[in-house]
Structure 1
Amino acid sequence: MTHDITADVVADILSLVNHETSSLDLAGLAAGLDHLRDLATARLGPPDVLRRHSGNGHGDTATLTYTGTGPGHVALIGHYDTVWPTGTLADWAPPIAGSRPKLGGPGIFDMKTGLAQGIWALKLARDADSPVPTVTFVFNGDEEIGSPASRPIVERTASEADATLVLEPSADGAVKTARKGTGTFAVTATGIESHAGLAPEAGASAVHALAEFVTAASAIAAPGAGTTVNAGLINGGTGANVVAGRATATIDVRVRTQEEKDRVDAALKAITTSDPRVHMEITRGWNRPPMVLNPASAQLLDLARAVAQEQGHDLRDAAVGGASDANFVAALGLPVLCGLGAVGGGAHAREEFIYPDTVAQQATLLAGMLTRLATWTGQPRSLS
């Protein structure tokens, strides 16, 4: 079965890649979502329920529900937006040739391969003539910018399902059972401008104060606990001969646990700088809570491993630093697994690629999980 579908799955993947869907291109996102909906319809038939939810200035979210023949209900979640600006495809270089074939393209790994594999998984489960659960696909177009419009849809759909499977790329074939929580902190320093040569003492440098703040913020990091702090953007001043009146920084924070999140919040709030004339303002923006392997998800992992064993291979799990929509689901205490999509690498990089010889196995694993979940109507029942 796996060899029979590889070419078709790859063709569907490439068709999705050829529709560029930058998170910031509303026209491209709309066309890409139309194509994704048409692809699902071509492979699965028209959904029993189709809803398109406005992105409110971002990419829309579509939910497609296919009624099953078993009592279970599974949510399959995947984003169709990418980090790549429209036009990137035109000058994308193919992957460097090696002993194992690769396919490259903007968004092919993160995460258009997962979208195609998810559609094929339901097709395979149906074709196996076994009970299948009701499946609701959630295709959102704003995940790469934090899911500002789609988060409530993701949470509501997951709450109505018995299990949620997120089609993000795998960690070298492993499913993702833990992800860091993410926060973005905007820091603004407002000082007093003056001439750097004639009256330096009259000024209060926003740049100098911000440098102190960023240094102190960096010291909050705790690598052993998985907490990272990165000042990725910084700007300020109007000239080398002017004591800077304003400076800004954007700081990315990643944490594994709620306890670390609370510690970072308190530590950032406690930072002081040496010149009291400079006003420091911090805008906190925690986006995704940490994802941990809750008891319900642990049962779902057991199911996935059992299915993989039946199909002749082992399934590993991994904790990763990046966040996804799975973070939202896990924070609700619901059963969720992430990283059930592509096998490859290079997310958000010019070398982004997949191994096409894995797409059939990944789709087949998902299909097997759907078949098992057809008769699982909620946790904490045993999944064996």
Structure 2
Amino acid sequence: MAPDAHFSSPATPAAFGESAAAAHLDDILADAKLLVSHESPSNDKTRLDDTLQTLIELVTARLGEPDEFTRIPAEPATLGDVVVCRYEGSVEKQVLIAGHYDTVWPVGTLEAWNPPAHDDPRERLSGPGLFDMKVGLAQAIWAVKLLDDASVARPTVTFVFNGDEEIGSPASSPTIRELARAADVGFVLEAPLNGAVKIGRKGIGNVVVTAEGIEAHAGVEPEKGASAITALMEWCLAASKLADPERGTTINVGLIEGGTGANVIPGRAQAVLDIRHWDPAEPALLDAAFDAITWTDNRVKITQERTWNRPPMPTTDGIERLFALLKEQASAMGTDLEGVAVGGGSDANFVAAEGTPVICGLGADGGGAHARHEFIYPDSVPFFTALLANGIAAVGQEWKG
């Protein structure tokens, strides 16, 4: 990456080496384990509230009472509330740190958690929601604590914690977008990819397609029936052909169900499609293309429910500059930081959509997201915690916007 004229030279040296965070590793992991001990599936309001209260107490214990605290009730009320904690800084910059406290795991998973044996030479720590992303929450808190305990000048830091990320952040995304508009930069503490931070993410859409046909006996009078399944298959095949992998647009028919028996012409069928894309214009183009799809039997009615959940997070000039700043800080710590663009989405997509440079994937390295062997590498926690702390401090001194 070419040097950027927006940075002064030489770059601000790293305030902390990895050892500074390593000295607190046991406490960081203890905080992460505490959060994991509170199960928080996205659809369990009681558990979400319990976990959020624990998170609030944890932030306050480590950083003191926030200068501003706001709890925004979720709408619908069955989802997790959004909490915003603001800690004023001594530098006139604004940093947004986003993290989610919900997980994909149902209640009871923790008690039955038994990850398989492995031959990985690195030490692993496993738990439901640890990798995605409760260790990241703990790291974010400790990164700011490192700065404050050492009296390092820093920008104002605003934390936003949400409990609906795993289901698309329907209740929290307006708040995240609003906070992003007021921030100079954003950091999201999802996990890195094999040690690389995420500087680009695809946008995500979902289409639920429902076919309503006419039931009839498949052997006695099949001509009186109109197959919902056949029509739906025709529709899905046509939709699949709209994918354009060279442009980064993928369309996956991930779920399909229908019918009542092999001897019945099916009267109903439904499919769910997952769409990933880089181009912000793609949703409108695909909407028009989906509406133009035809099928053979016009007695079947097909309806669509389309949700363009997360906008794309292309690697903009601002993101490249923020990554360059982090890369300089990592280099000062003795590490060559890599950046990758990935197909998965996160709340960083909403931050980027407001034009705010954002880096995602600053949590602990590991693997197995949404899998029964989900784990982190504890030895990666100090580096990424110190990197975030150094990145926040450097934004205060180097970032020109």
Which band: TM-score by shorter chain?
over 0.9
Aligned position for 1:273: 295
CA contact (8 A) 2:181 2:355 kept: no
- With normalisation by structure 1, the TM-score equals 0.95
The amino acid of 1:144's aligned partner reads E
Q: Quote how far apart the aligned CAs of 1:68 are.
A: 1.0
Could you list the per-position Cα deviations for residues 27-48 of structure 1 after superposition, in whole angstroms to 9, with x for gaps in the alignment? 1100000001111111111111
Aligned position for 2:35: 16
Q: Percent identity?
A: 52
Structure 2 distance, partners of 1:220, 1:153, is 33
What count of residue pairs does the alignment treat as equivalent?
379
Which of residues 86, 101, 105 in structure 1 aligns to 2:107?
86
What are the within-5 Å matches in structure 2 for residues 184-333 of structure 1? 184-333=206-355
Structure 2 distance, partners of 1:239, 1:75, is 53
Structure 1 distance, partners of 2:293, 2:70, is 47
Aligned position for 1:26: 45
Q: Structure 1 residues 317-326 or 259-268, which shifts more?
A: 259-268
Is 1:38 the equivalent of 2:36? no
Is 1:180 the equivalent of 2:202? yes
Structure 1 distance, partners of 2:400, 2:189, is 20
Is 1:102 the equivalent of 2:136? no
Q: Structure 1 residues 54-63 or 232-241, which shifts more?
A: 232-241
Q: Quote how far apart the aligned CAs of 1:376 are.
A: 5.4
Q: Quote how far apart the aligned CAs of 1:299 are.
A: 1.4
Structure 2 distance, partners of 1:314, 1:218, is 40
Is 1:362 the equivalent of 2:381? no
Which of residues 176, 179, 182 in structure 2 aligns to 1:160?
182
Give the secondary-structure state (helix, strand or coil) at the position aligned to 1:116: helix
Could you list the per-position Cα deviations for residues 177-210 of structure 1 after superposition, in whole angstroms to 9, with x for gaps in the alignment? 1111111101011111222122111111111111
Is 1:77 the equivalent of 2:98? yes
Structure 2 distance, partners of 1:46, 1:66, is 9
Give the secondary-structure state (helix, strand or coil) at the position aligned to 2:238: helix
Is 1:61 the equivalent of 2:70? no
Structure 1 distance, partners of 2:226, 2:103, is 42
The amino acid of 1:369's aligned partner reads G
Aligned position for 1:140: 162
The amino acid of 1:114's aligned partner reads G
CA contact (8 A) 1:200 1:243 kept: yes
Note closer, same or farther for the CA distance 1:376–1:152 as it changes in structure 2 (3 Å cut).
farther
Could you list the per-position Cα deviations for residues 304-356 of structure 1 after superposition, in whole angstroms to 9, with x for gaps in the alignment? 11111111111110011110111111122211111111211111111111000
Structure 1 distance, partners of 2:188, 2:377, is 19
Note closer, same or farther for the CA distance 1:80–1:231 as it changes in structure 2 (3 Å cut).
same
Aligned position for 1:344: 366
Structure 1 distance, partners of 2:400, 2:47, is 38
CA contact (8 A) 1:83 1:144 kept: yes
CA contact (8 A) 1:71 1:377 kept: no
Q: Structure 1 residues 116-125 or 278-287, which shifts more?
A: 278-287
Q: CA RMSD in A?
A: 1.4
CA contact (8 A) 2:96 2:185 kept: yes
Could you list the per-position Cα deviations for residues 158-182 of structure 1 after superposition, in whole angstroms to 9, with x for gaps in the alignment? 1111111111111111111111111
The amino acid of 1:91's aligned partner reads A
Q: Quote how far apart the aligned CAs of 1:95 are.
A: 5.4
The amino acid of 1:223's aligned partner reads P
- Segments of 5+ residues of structure 2 without an aligned counterpart are 1-19
Give the secondary-structure state (helix, strand or coil) at the position aligned to 1:89: coil
Q: Quote how far apart the aligned CAs of 1:147 are.
A: 0.6
Q: Structure 1 residues 217-226 or 119-128, which shifts more?
A: 217-226
Aligned position for 2:25: 6
Structure 1 distance, partners of 2:112, 2:68, is 39
Structure 1 distance, partners of 2:331, 2:284, is 40
- With normalisation by structure 2, the TM-score equals 0.91
The amino acid of 2:383's aligned partner reads Q
CA contact (8 A) 1:95 1:102 kept: no
CA contact (8 A) 1:194 1:202 kept: yes
Give the secondary-structure state (helix, strand or coil) at the position aligned to 1:220: coil
Q: Quote how far apart the aligned CAs of 1:269 are.
A: 2.0
Aligned position for 2:67: 48
The amino acid of 1:347's aligned partner reads A
CA contact (8 A) 1:181 1:291 kept: yes
CA contact (8 A) 1:76 1:136 kept: yes
The amino acid of 2:43's aligned partner reads L
CA contact (8 A) 1:303 1:369 kept: yes
CA contact (8 A) 1:95 1:353 kept: no
